[in-house]
């Protein structure tokens, strides 16, 4: 056949909805054929859902519109998935279409597709890919078996599994026994041989058979004096055609066969020369012409007869198809009618239930309305009672107003007396300062843990310093009470007022006074004094708030750098070593970033000793404090303290470990140890380090992480002694000090002097520290010389100073003198 006469061959490929489930079958087809004259029909049987997955309720519970809408969405989704197959075919340069049938069963749907669309070649899966084996020679799936048994016998079906041809069901061959009843010329027809399998190398990948299946129809006919030849389309079953001709027109065929025999005899006789009694040859020539005409007429009539037989068979097949479609339409109508009746019944029941529910609601509303009317009457009575009470209160208010006027007069008298007391207080303050100096000089002989002197303030002084405890002065609040900022005796201080109704306030107040009155340390908050009238504690004021606030960047403050965080770790470690070094160690018991305060130079100081405990030696020769009610912050509390109620110095070590990990990562303390441990094991520590602190040196970060994990061990006996870890912490502090700004480079000098003891101007240990308007502390002589020389800006920030007043920092001076006594 010429290229111009080539027919586009359609290959029907039955595939599941998703590409990943049918990719091997499609791949086999794309590899077996050439795209020159092949068109792939993606065939899919869609099974509608019986339930809606969201509610898992049967379709019968919904209205027909809802069911149709959902099924329409299902079909659209299925068609979108089939487009993936079309894309694969397009990439392989194949023409492709999709054909989808909606049915309740895949196998019967495919059988129906083969019958309705006259499919003569189908390719489908033999089994699921996971059931494939190299020795597989027969179909495994139930669907494939049903299609093999029930599909039209004239359809050739190839079964594929995991990209391999398992087997092929050949079309039903022609029944040769019927050939005896066929005319001689039909048995001698030129039949195109049928191939039993695909040959991708023939005609550039074309199949050797044309796929369209149709009733017997001649593609072309011709006649001559010797024979009669018919060519059939390859998709037509010639055995069916011969059988149809023999069965439907047997009488015609018998006459035609008899005619063939007679005509053949006459033709042979006429071709032999015969002479009559007169030897005339003219008559012989005339007879030959007559026979030739008869032969031509016979051939013509036979062609017309076969054409009529073909038309009749096609009409009968069309009639059968119409009857079948009518039956299917009738069945579908009956089924749909039954479904609609059932749905209608369901809707009626649902409406009835809704009506019952609305009736119940209506009854309830009626009852509520009656109750509301009764309550309205009661409200009116209550309003009348309240009005009478308001009248009484008005009279009492007028009396109180008179009493208030009298109190104002008395207040003026008290104010004048207060002014006199303030003058006397200043005189006493000077005497106290002199006494403090003398006590500091004599303290060396008493030892560092002897009780320290602190002031006892009047409530009136605190009210003046805080404008009667105004909210504008409040800087913190918690379960213990409130903290206010105030200017007291020429010094900026923080005043903690304990709640009077707190059951634990008084013991915590006494405990904190007992601890802080016996010790001084650069990294412990300095207790300046107390107010017994108000149960108030007066501390040195630390302007940068708590470490927790700085980690959260509260108030849009910049994040703490990794150098500052490393230094803070070292300072807290040093403070804990100081507390634990007593013969009877002191355990803080509530170490956390909220209780670590920062001064103007970001130097850390441990505060809030309300639940701290003095450890005594137990019967087991261990320093321990036992309680039935463990207290503290859960995320930072020693797990063994929670379970056993035994508080030891290792409890502070656990809290210190969690604080280290917080400074390193900036994460929540909940499960922080497990997160850091996983990061170290998976070499992903760099992913959880707090990037806002700057570029941590990896070695330094890893050492801090491991130190924090050692301290935060669940078992107390596995936690290290801080004395053994101090050298590591000290080296990390020195490494960090090499990278900080000049104001922090003097983290530790050769003698280990804390940097906040150093005057920023003289770079010497301060003897008389004073606070300037910029918040920094300087040696009095240095800052006075700076101001007297005409400078109106800060020596540290170079910003204008709002005023040139200086305030003595007695707390820092006391701490410096205490430190000098310990480091002669």
Q: Hey, which residues are catalytic here? A: 590
396-409 burial, b if ≥16 CB within 10 A, otherwise e? eeeeeeeeeeeeee
Q: DSSP states of 166-187 as a string? A: EEEEPPPPP-GGGGGGS-HHHH
Count CA within 13 A, CB hemisphere, residue 766. Answer: 29
Q: Per-residue DSSP letters for 207-240?
A: -SS-----S--EEEEEE-SS-EEEEE-TTS-HHH
Residue where the block lists tokens 């004239």: 154
Euclidean distance between CA atoms 553 and 565, whole angstroms: 14
Q: Which of 54, 823, 71 is nearest to 448 (CA)?
A: 823
Chain center to CA of 62 = 33
* Neighbouring C-beta atoms of residue 18, cutoff 10 Å: 13
CA distance 817 to 823: 10
How far apart are alpha carbons 739 and 724 in whole angstroms?
A: 26
Helices marked H in 47-191 — which ranges? 64-91, 106-116, 142-150, 184-187
Which residue pairs, CB below 8 angstroms and at least 24 apart, start in 248-256? Answer: 248/309, 248/312, 248/313, 249/305, 249/309, 250/181, 252/305, 253/181, 253/182, 253/183, 256/183, 256/302, 256/305
- H/E stretch holding 164 reads strand 164-169
Task: Yes or no: say if 610 and 509 are a contact pair by the CB < 8 Å rule.
Answer: yes
Q: Which residues contact 748 (CB under 8 A, 6 or more apart)?
A: 730, 733, 734, 737, 754, 755
d(CA 160, CA 13): 10
Any binding-site annotation on 380? no
Q: What does the alpha-carbon distance between residue 137 and residue 161 come to, in Å, rounded to a whole number?
A: 10
Number of H helices, E strands in the chain: 20, 26
Dump the DSSP string for 239-280.
Answer: HHHHHHHHHHSHHHHHHHHHHHHHHHHHHHHHHS----TT--
Sign of CA dihedral 153, 155, 158, 159: negative
Kind and range of the H or E run holding 513? helix 505-516
Between CA 677 and CA 714 the distance in angstroms is: 13
Q: Which two tokens stand for residue 267?
A: 């033709």
Binding residue positions for ATP: 496
């Amino acid at each position: 056949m010429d290229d111009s006469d080539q027919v586009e061959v359609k290959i029907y490929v039955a595939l599941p909805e998703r590409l990943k489930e049918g990719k091997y079958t499609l791949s086999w087809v794309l590899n077996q054929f050439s795209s020159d004259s092949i068109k792939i029909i993606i065939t899919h049987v869609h099974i509608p859902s019986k339930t809606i997955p969201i509610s898992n309720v049967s379709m019968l519970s919904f209205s027909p519109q809802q069911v149709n809408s959902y099924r329409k969405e299902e079909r659209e989704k299925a068609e979108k998935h089939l487009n993936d197959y079309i894309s694969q075919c397009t990439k392989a340069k194949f023409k492709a279409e999709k054909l989808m049938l909606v049915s309740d069963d895949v196998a019967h749907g495919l059988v129906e597709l083969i019958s309705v669309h006259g499919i003569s070649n189908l390719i489908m899966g033999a089994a699921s890919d996971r059931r494939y084996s190299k020795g597989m020679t027969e179909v495994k799936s139930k669907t494939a078996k049903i299609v093999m048994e029930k599909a039209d016998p004239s359809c050739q079906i190839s079964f594929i599994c995991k990209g391999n041809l398992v087997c092929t069901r050949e079309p039903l061959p022609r029944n040769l026994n019927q050939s005896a009843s066929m005319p001689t010329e039909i048995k001698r027809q030129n039949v195109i041989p049928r191939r039993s399998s695909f040959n991708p190398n023939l005609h550039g990948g074309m199949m050797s058979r044309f796929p369209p299946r149709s009733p017997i129809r001649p593609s072309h006919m011709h006649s001559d004096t010797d024979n009669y030849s018919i060519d059939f389309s390859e998709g037509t079953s010639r055995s069916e055609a011969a059988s149809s001709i023999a069965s439907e027109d047997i009488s015609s065929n018998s006459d035609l066969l008899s005619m063939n025999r007679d005509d053949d005899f006459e033709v042979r006789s006429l071709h032999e020369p015969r002479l009559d009694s007169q030897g005339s040859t003219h008559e012989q020539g005339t007879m030959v012409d007559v026979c030739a005409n008869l032969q031509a007429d016979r051939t013509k009539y036979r062609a017309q007869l076969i054409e009529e037989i073909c038309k009749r068979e096609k009409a009968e097949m069309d009639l059968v198809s119409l009857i079948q479609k009518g039956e299917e339409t009738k069945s579908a109508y009956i089924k749909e009618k039954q479904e609609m009746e059932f749905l209608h019944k369901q809707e009626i029941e649902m409406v009835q239930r809704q009506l019952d529910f609305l009736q119940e609601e209506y009854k309830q509303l009626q009852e509520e309305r009656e109750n509301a009317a009764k309550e309205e009457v009661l409200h009116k009575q209550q309003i009348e009672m309240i009005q009478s009470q308001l009248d009484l209160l008005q009279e009492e208010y007028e009396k109180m107003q008179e009493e208030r006027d009298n109190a104002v007069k008395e207040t003026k008298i008290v104010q004048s007396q207060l002014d006199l007391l303030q003058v006397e207080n200043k005189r006493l303050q000077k005497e106290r300062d002199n006494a403090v100096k003398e006590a500091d000089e004599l303290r060396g002989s008493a030892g560092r843990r002897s009780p320290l002197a602190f002031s006892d303030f009047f409530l009136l002084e605190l009210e003046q310093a805080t404008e009667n405890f105004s909210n504008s002065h409040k800087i913190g609040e918690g379960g213990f009470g409130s903290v206010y900022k105030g200017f007291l005796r020429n010094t900026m201080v923080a005043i903690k007022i304990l709640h009077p109704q707190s059951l634990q306030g008084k013991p915590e107040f006494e405990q904190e006074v007992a601890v802080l009155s016996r010790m001084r340390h650069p990294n412990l908050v300095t207790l300046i004094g107390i107010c017994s009238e108000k149960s108030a504690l007066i501390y040195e004021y630390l302007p940068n708030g708590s470490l927790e606030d700085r980690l959260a960047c509260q108030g849009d403050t910049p994040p703490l750098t990794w150098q500052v965080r490393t230094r803070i770790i070292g300072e807290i470690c040093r403070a804990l070593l100081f507390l634990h070094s007593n013969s009877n160690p002191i355990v803080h018991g509530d170490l956390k970033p909220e209780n670590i305060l920062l001064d103007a130079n970001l130097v850390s100081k441990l505060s809030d000793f309300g639940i701290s405990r003095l450890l005594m030696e137990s019967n087991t020769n261990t320093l321990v404090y036992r309680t039935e009610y463990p207290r503290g912050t859960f995320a930072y509390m020693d797990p063994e303290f929670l379970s056993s109620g035994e508080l030891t110095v290792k409890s502070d070590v656990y809290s210190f470990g969690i604080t280290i990990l917080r400074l390193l990562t900036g994460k929540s303390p909940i499960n922080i140890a497990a997160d850091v441990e996983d990061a170290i094991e998976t070499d992903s520590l760099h992913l959880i380090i707090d990037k806002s602190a700057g570029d941590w040196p990896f070695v330094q970060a890893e050492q801090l992480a491991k130190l924090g994990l050692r301290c935060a061990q669940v078992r107390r006996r596995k936690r290290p002694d801080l004395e053994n870890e101090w050298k590591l912490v000290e080296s990390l502090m020195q490494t960090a000090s090499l990278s900080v700004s000049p104001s922090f480079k003097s983290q530790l000098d050769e003698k280990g002097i804390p940097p906040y003891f150093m005057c920023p101007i003289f770079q010497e240990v301060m003897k008389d520290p004073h606070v300037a308007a910029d918040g920094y502390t300087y040696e009095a002589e240095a800052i006075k010389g700076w101001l007297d020389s005409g400078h109106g800006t800060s020596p540290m920030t170079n910003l204008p100073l709002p005023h040139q007043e200086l305030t003595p920092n007695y707390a820092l001076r006391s701490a410096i003198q205490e430190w000098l006594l310990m480091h002669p």
